[in-house]
Structure formats: C-alpha cells, structure tokens
Amino acid sequence: MKNFVKRAIKKIDQLDTEQIVDILQSQSRELEMLENVLDTIEDGVILTDANLTINYANTHCPNLIPMLRLRSYEGYPLSKVIEDKHVLRYIVLSVYNRADDLDNEFTFQRGNRVQTIAVTVYTYKMQDKDALSSYVLMFSDVTEHNANEARMRRSENLASMTTMAAGVAHEIKNPLAAMGIHLQLLKKAFTRKEALTFDDAQRYIDVLEEEITRLNGIVVDFLFAVRPLDTRLRLGSIMKTLNEVIAFVEPELAEHRVKLTCNCSTSLPRLEFDENLVKQVLLNLIKNAMNAMEQGGRMTLFARPDGNDVLISVQDTGVGMDEEMVQKIFEPYYTNKATGTGLGLTVVYKIMKEHRGDITVESKLGEGSTFTLSFPIPKSERLSLVEPDKEGSYET
C-alpha cells in the first residue's frame, strides 16, 4: 500500500477527483485499521512528532501512567498531557540521549495494588534525510513479570543455599574432628599427670584456637555467600563500567607483567544491571586470570552483542584447567588455591543469575581459560542493533 501511495503522489496531476477520493478513503480505512490494532495490544502507545506533540495515543495509556483523560490527544503537547513529572523527564532525556543511567521503570499506587510500568522511547526517522525524527513511546506493565522473576530468583537462591549448607557441613567436619582429637589428648594428659602447666597444655590450646578461627572463617564466608543480594538493576552503559574496572586494575596488572588487551564493540546496547555487583564480578574474574599467570602473560577482554545477549569475556594465557576442574569450578568451596575460600565464583554465578544472565567457562590445561558473562539485552534496546557493529581494540 505504501508503494502504491508513493506512485499515486508522483502522478497526482494525472488523477481525477474520483481517483483522489478513492485513494484518501483507502488511506483512511488503513489508518483506522492500524489504530484498532494498536488498541488491542496491552501496552500503551503514544506517537509524537519531533517537538513531542502527540499525533496519536491508544486507549490503554491513561490506565498505565498518570495522564489527562481526553477523547482525543492529537495536537496536544506531551508536557500538557502526562501528569507524572518523573515519567516526563525520562522521556525528554531519552529523546536527547541523556537517559543512559536512569531507571526506565516507574511504580504507581492503584488502589491496594502497586503497579510497575516500563517506559521505552523509540526514534523513528523517515528515509528522507531532511525529515525530522518522530518518536514512539511505549508503556508496558511489568508488575507480574518482575514478580515472577523475583519468585524464580528466590527458588534458585533456596536451592543454592541447600547446596552450600551441605558444603558447610562438610567443611566444618575437619576442624571439629581436630578439636575433638586434641581435647581427648588434653584429657589424657591430665589423667596421666593430674595437673598440667601452661607450657604442657600450650600445644593443645594453640590447635584449638587455630581450629576455632578456621570455623569462624567458614561461617563468615558462608553468611557472605548466602545473604540476599540488594540487586538494583538500572538501564546503563556496560562499556562505561568495563572501562572503569580496566582503569582500576591496570596498575596491578602491569606490576604482575600482564599485558591487557580490550577487544570490545563500540556499539553495545544499554543493559539493565547493578553497577556495583557487575564491577565485583569483573574484578573477581580479572584477579583470577591474573593469579593464573604467575610469570606474566596476556589477558584479553571481549565485549560484543550476540543475538539477544551481550557477551563479555575474560581470557588469559595462564595454567588453565582440566575437564574435572571445569565441571566443579562454580561449586561452593571448590578451589585450587592454597588460600582460597572456594566461594568467589559461587558468588559470581549468583550475581549473574540475579541479572537473568549466565556465566560459562572454556579452559585447556596449560593453555589458559576464558570466562564469558552473558547479559540479556532489554527489548527496548534491541532496535539499536540494526546499526552495523564496529569493534575497538586497545592495549595496556
């Protein structure tokens, strides 16, 4: 139909009045059909021009966000219609590409129910290079979606806690056994001598103190690993966070003779993530990679879109792992370090699940390892992937 109208416009001077009327009626019917389709979807939709003047708003919008109730919104400025200043501010900043670090979800009280609405702004530009941009505003009720995800995370956390509790039970058996043995030895020493000097009892007391400290460390590490995460997902630039982590670790990597290369896409979409928790994940993986290269080596960071996900990888040329170690690497209390707690990667795994993502590892003994984080791309950001992807690379 679009191509037909374009051809008709080119030949407008050759058409009689009846033909022009037919074309206009056809366009009117098609527009009415499109409006009916937009009214059947559950999301709210507002179409505006470059000045944020409303061209169309479907019937669901007033049920999702605070706004005036009018028979028709056509011709009204958006600022006169939307009554919530926070929603309006987010939309305006999105239009000017300044909302990267802002949360796009807003909560509203609807009687006894709290409703969470996600706001998404799309830019639409005609093929004519001189044409001004138009905007599509989407309002989606994500209340039930967020509740389902929270329930799923609680179930996963419960399963994880069960596994870790079994790990704790296994870990505390050794120090308890050592304490029991030395208490028996201390009792026998008392039986033989009926009285002990402090020097006689010192070696038994030292062992007991050492094992008590060890038990306390196990409990502290366990509580840290199982405590609920205060995850605050915000829409933002993952590349900004990655660059901040790189700048932080560069001096330590240089001291350990590790050469860092960043091979990252320059057109990554925004992601929903908790900046502090993701920094903790990246620092853990980078430190592990550095420790795997005691004599120095090369570390490479990758970041690129992959379908509906963004993949971030940390690759090293260290000692690597065999298949058995790879299978157990995310299990609580599993470690190949002399001083490791075995909970670092367990926490990393937990954080990635909180982000609806995943972590995988590929490794070969004697050649190195690659840990890959997978973050889902929000639906609101997937349109940005139509642009050709570019990669940037630099070394430190």
In-domain check, residue 352: yes
Same domain, 213 and 268: no
In this predicted structure, the answer to whether residue 342 has a pLDDT above a threshold of 70 is: no
Q: Which residues contact 359 (CB under 8 A, 6 or more apart)?
A: 330, 345, 348, 349, 352, 371, 372, 373, 374
Same domain, 71 and 218: no
Residues 66-97: pLDDT tens digits? 999 998 999 999 999 999 999 999 999 999 88
In-domain check, residue 95: yes
In-domain check, residue 25: no
pTM, full prediction: 0.53
Q: Are strands 297-306 and 258-265 parallel, antiparallel or unpaired?
A: parallel
Same domain, 250 and 306: yes
Q: Is the dihedral of CA 156, 157, 162, 163 positive or negative?
A: positive
Burial of 156 (0-12, 13-18, 19+ CB in 10 A): middle
Evaluate whether 114 touches 95 at the Cβ level (below 8 Å).
no
User: 3-state class of 236 per DSSP?
Assistant: strand
Q: How far apart are CA 303 and CA 263, in angstroms?
A: 7
Residue 211 lies in domain: 148-226
**Domain end residue (candidates: 172, 206, 226):** 226
Same domain, 102 and 174: no
Q: Which residues contact 8 (CB under 8 A, 6 or more apart)?
A: 15, 23
Same domain, 52 and 187: no
Q: What is the CATH classification number for the domain harbouring 358?
A: 3.30.565.10
Same domain, 168 and 289: no
- Domain count of the chain? 3
Residues 29-61: pLDDT tens digits? 777 777 777 778 889 999 999 999 999 999 999
Residues 111-135: pLDDT tens digits? 888 899 999 999 887 666 666 789 9
What's phi and psi for 151, nearest 5 deg? -65, -40
**Domain end residue (candidates: 226, 246, 269):** 226
